[in-house]
Structure 1
Amino acid sequence: MIKSLRLIDFRCFATLSMELRDRGGIFIGDNAQGKTSILEAICVLLRLQSPRAKSMRPLVRFEATGAGVAGECWEQELTIRYGRGGVQLGIDGEEVSTQNQYLAQSGLIVWMGNEDIELVRGSGGIRRHYLDFLCSQLDLGYRRALSRYRRALKARNVLLKDPVSREAELDAYTEILIEHGDYLHEVRQRIVAMLEPRASEAQSNISGRDEILSLQYVAGSEGGMREALAVSRESERRQRQTLVGPHRDDVKIFIHGMPASEFASEGQQRTIALALKLAQGEAIEADAGKVPIYLLDDIFGELDPSRRNALMAHLPVGAQKFITTTSVDWLDGGWGEWPLYRVCDGKVSKWERDNSVE
């Protein structure tokens, strides 16, 4: 469990220091007050990345030169400092030299937000990002392979656009794509196979209906990377870009055998998004043997009461859960068991039980 969280110059928080309960907590407040930033800080502390930013720089409070996140997690102190010198990582006061070394000692998470509906109706890139985040938690080698694949892909595409033929360099980057691309394909395919039955069960439980959800992993290359690159070689030269590989992967989502993006209602699409994230948590627990932390960002306003209750019932009882919301009326009076916090203008205080719920 996460026992404490401390922030310095993170988003809207100049400073924040709070003890956290094993159950988790519910952060209540209006929009743009800092609720999501608390969940974001937990995600950064455990996974070194934000679901809302591609780098650390946007996380720094306005006019500050750096930011810090720290906390006691699983009886060890994790620290992240970001400034002009880059990112410094620490565990129990000792500097950690690599991100993988840090991540091996940190926790695993499931992030759930309103934007998750784009998993169903958005582009393939959104579903690839979902897979990458999950796969990198379950396989430390995946993160390294993905980084090297992306760098090689970018360099190879530059070479393909060059009017001067540079075959030796092109072949060198092709070998890197083959090595790491096949690895990414293998891990993604295994993880999607783990997700499908779990997502299907969650879909039925949350919807309260016998809705058949299925997933299909569609590889961006057929027959392995070496063969696919050889077949596409001439087309690549004409179009001046790499046409096959994990950057073209997708996960097709079907409801009753029909494409969910086209035939599922908005309510069904939201349920599918929840089912995918719940399946992610179950896959993490099954594969890694750890119960992840659940971060639920303001999702209850878009759900009807039956789906809200079904979601809460489906979340693991022993998992630590942090929830943001503008109101707690959806808890139907059961909120006495939860630690409640008010978030207002970058400050956090305990929610008084006799406060009216708006």
Structure 2
Amino acid sequence: MDFRCFDALGIEVPEAGAVFTGQNAQGKTSVLEAVCVLVRLHSPRTSRMQTLARIGGHGGFGIAGEAWDMERRIDWRPRVPTRHVVEGDERPSQGGYLEDGGLLVWMGNDDLDLVRGGGESRRRYLDFMGSQVAPDYRRALARYRRALKAKNLLLKDGERRRREIESYEAIMIPAAEVLRRVRADLSGRLTEVVAERQRTIAGKDELAGMSYLPGGGMELGPALEQVREKEFRQRRSLVGPHRDELELTVNGMPAAAYASEGQQRTLALALKLAQGGVLRERAGREPVWLIDDVFGELDVSRRNALMRALPTGAQKWITTTYLDWLKETPELEGLARFAVEGGSLRAS
């Protein structure tokens, strides 16, 4: 395995899921992260695969498991193509590996950044959903990012690289169309669900709102023409999906600036619960919920409301530093219990 702090780990989890307990920095989150990487080729904690390899290991890592009745495996090594294997057959690309993979929702304490943080955190929220529900989204996102990076490098040389810049914009425009079509559709589906979840968890009539604001408008081509000279002067890209925003409000006011901490935490939970609902609606099946150290940080009323809101038929992988609150949570009966300490795991 050689993943994070684990040199090797084998675990069997029942259909309902499992709870992993232990102190901080013992490996609990890494168990959930391994599931996320195996299923979606994505870590919520880093974008650099090399940081997932165990220090002192062989320089790479491998993860294998049965997910949705299919044996799946990935092997990552530096400077060589990653192997993606399903049912013993190697898939030639990430897209091929993901096309029949499952769905995931990740919940963690840093979800508060969805409300308090900059636009990048909210774009990642939409990207994680879009990559799961739209086959062309992940490819369009990769093409857009590569072309944007090249364009920004060329902009440092100013107007004399105009032709080369325009050639990369020709790649960005159709990719942006895919991204914005999916983002707009997802935002429309999420709006009502987020508002309903906010009221449910808060236990009172708090009105949550959200609006998708494409940076420069929905059509990238005309927007680029309008800011062309300004981009040359500032030597950076000023419009496009990398500048999109998901505006969040509570009771009509910007959530980051005016909502209380409790309202902000509730809104972050509402966003993730709504994400799970939209994934289920689009795919016709429940996602797996990876819930990292969330419940212990919530007051009793929000914790109980969250537990009632989680779909009963979904598998849940939950980490926590202590078990006391579980006694008050009959909804988690049937989940396996594991203790994690120092990179080792045992049934508890």
Q: Is 1:69 aligned to 2:66, yes or no?
A: no
Q: Is 1:213 aligned to 2:215, yes or no?
A: no
| Cα separation, 2, equivalents of 1:27 and 1:262 | 35
Q: Is the 8 A contact 2:197 2:270 kept in 1?
A: yes
| Cα separation, 1, equivalents of 2:257 and 2:326 | 33
Q: CA deviation at 1:272?
A: 0.4
**Would the alpha carbon gap of residues 345 and 211 (structure 1) be closer, same or farther in structure 2, given more than 3 Å must change?**
same
For 2:101, which of 83, 100, 106 is the aligned residue? 106
Q: CA deviation at 1:167?
A: 2.8
Q: Is 1:340 aligned to 2:337, yes or no?
A: yes
Q: Is the 8 A contact 2:5 2:343 kept in 1?
A: yes
What do the CA deviations read for 1:70-126 (whole angstroms, capped 9, x no partner)? 001111100011113231110111111011111112111000000000100100111
2:46 maps to 53
1:255 maps to 250
Aligned residue type for 2:129: L
For 2:27, which of 29, 34, 38 is the aligned residue? 34
The 5 Å alignment of 1:190-229 reads 190-222=185-217, 224-229=219-224
The 5 Å alignment of 1:92-171 reads 92-163=87-158, 165-171=160-166
Q: CA deviation at 1:273?
A: 0.3
After the TM superposition, which of the residue ranges 126-135 and 272-281 deviates more from structure 2?
126-135
| Cα separation, 2, equivalents of 1:60 and 1:181 | 33
For 2:240, which of 230, 242, 245 is the aligned residue? 245
Q: CA deviation at 1:223?
A: 5.3
**Would the alpha carbon gap of residues 159 and 107 (structure 1) be closer, same or farther in structure 2, given more than 3 Å must change?**
same
Q: What TM-score, normalized by structure 1, do the two folds share?
A: 0.94
After the TM superposition, which of the residue ranges 296-305 and 168-177 deviates more from structure 2?
168-177
Tell me the SS of whatever aligns to 2:9. strand
The 5 Å alignment of 1:191-340 reads 191-222=186-217, 224-333=219-328, 334=330, 336-340=333-337
Coordinate RMSD, CA, aligned? 1.2
Q: Is 1:15 aligned to 2:2, yes or no?
A: no
Q: CA deviation at 1:279?
A: 0.3
| Cα separation, 2, equivalents of 1:208 and 1:166 | 57
**Would the alpha carbon gap of residues 229 and 32 (structure 1) be closer, same or farther in structure 2, given more than 3 Å must change?**
same
What are structure 2's unaligned runs of at least 5 residues? none
Tell me the SS of whatever aligns to 1:342. strand
2:77 maps to 83
Q: Is the 8 A contact 2:159 2:232 kept in 1?
A: no
What do the CA deviations read for 1:48-69 (whole angstroms, capped 9, x no partner)? 0100111211111112121110
Number of equivalences: 344
What do the CA deviations read for 1:194-221 (whole angstroms, capped 9, x no partner)? 1111111111111111111010111101
Aligned residue type for 1:76: M
| Cα separation, 2, equivalents of 1:163 and 1:25 | 55
Aligned residue type for 2:61: A
Q: Is the 8 A contact 1:49 1:55 kept in 2?
A: no
Q: Is the 8 A contact 2:212 2:245 kept in 1?
A: yes
| Cα separation, 2, equivalents of 1:31 and 1:163 | 49
After the TM superposition, which of the residue ranges 280-289 and 158-167 deviates more from structure 2?
158-167
Aligned residue type for 1:136: S
Aligned residue type for 2:310: L
Aligned residue type for 2:33: E
Q: Is the 8 A contact 2:14 2:335 kept in 1?
A: no
Q: CA deviation at 1:184?
A: 1.0
Q: Is the 8 A contact 2:290 2:317 kept in 1?
A: yes
Tell me the SS of whatever aligns to 1:10. coil
Q: Is the 8 A contact 1:24 1:321 kept in 2?
A: yes
Aligned residue type for 1:139: A
Q: Is the 8 A contact 1:79 1:91 kept in 2?
A: yes
Q: CA deviation at 1:327?
A: 1.1
Percent of paired sites with the same residue: 49
